Amino acid sequence: MDKTNTGLVTHAAAQLGLPYIYGTYGKVLTADIIRQKAKQYPSQMYKSREDYALKHYIGKRSYDCAGLVKSYMFQETPAAVPKYSEQYDKNVGGLIKACSETGKISAIPELPGLLVFRGTAHVGVYAGKGEVIEAKGFDYGVVKSKLSQGNWDKWGRLSWIKYPEQVTGQKTEDGIYAEKLFKNTSGQTLNIFADSKLTLKIGTLPAGSSCKCLGIVDKTALIKYKVIAAGAYKAGFTSYVKGVEV
């Protein structure tokens, strides 16, 4: 079964209102599980929380922040019994490492299913339109919140799932992607091509030169650079995506 960015959002949304228990990833809670987590994580699941969970949460599925994400890989459907896989059992730091691309939260693409991070302590699922679904904590459970109010500092494209091929720069209201600084730090002259397949060469960018990046397309950087001789700007593609300043 293919795992997709929209599937991750659907999965996370299906858990809204469910409780947060540290160290869980979607199992139905029993008294034994609650007591086990209290014993395993006493600083997170202290006595008053244990007592509350025993009274109110038995029979419900629960998640912690990373558990909400990795449970998508464990569950065939949003309500299915999770099938544990060591391959996907990652904490927040491990989820960051599992991302194929990351960037500053100020430049997050409008792409549902991206992960958002607060350091290495917390993770949520970007649902689109400025909203995040997160297992926020014991006092909150799984909730939907505003991206702008979460103190998130990084976004990531999770390598375990499929995302649509698209420019990943920040999109403005008129449909133009926000420009980012591009620096040729490769130490050599870069060839610039007319297409993202890098088949038709149209120019070069000397080592140390700077210009603007309009976004990432097919794992190539779409840049806007000035042709000195013509006194005009050209747009083209280069495979050197490391030059994009994010």
Q: What CATH number is attached to the domain comprising 37?
A: 3.90.1720.10
> By the 8 A CB rule, do 22 and 37 touch?
yes
Residue 163 lies in a domain: no
pLDDT tens, per residue, the chain with 246 residues = 589 999 999 999 999 999 999 999 999 999 999 999 999 999 999 999 999 999 999 999 999 999 999 999 999 988 889 999 999 999 999 999 999 999 999 989 889 999 999 999 999 999 998 999 999 999 999 999 999 999 999 999 999 999 986 544 454 444 445 678 899 999 999 999 988 889 888 888 899 988 888 888 878 888 888 776 666 777 889 999 888 875
Shared domain check, 131 and 212 = no
Assigned domain for 60 exists? yes
Report the amino acid identity of residue 223.
Answer: I
Total of domains in the chain: 2
Backbone φ and ψ for 52, nearest 5 degrees, come out as -65, -45
Any domain includes 122: yes
In this structure, what are the phi and psi dihedrals at residue 220, rounded to the nearest 5 degrees? -125, 155
115 and 19 housed in the same domain: yes
Specify whether 133 is located in the same domain as 200.
no
- Give the CATH number, domain containing residue 238: 2.30.30
Burial class (CB in 10 A: 0-12, 13-18, 19+), 175: exposed
The boundaries of the domain holding residue 202 are 180-243
Q: Are residues 9 and 113 in the same domain?
A: yes
> How many C-beta neighbours within 10 Å does residue 239 have?
15
Q: At what angle do helices 5-13 and 65-74 cross, to 10 degrees?
A: 120
Are 183 and 210 in contact by the 8 Å Cβ rule? The answer is yes
Q: What's the Cα-to-Cα distance from 214 to each of 38, 141, 163, rounded to whole Å? A: 50, 39, 19
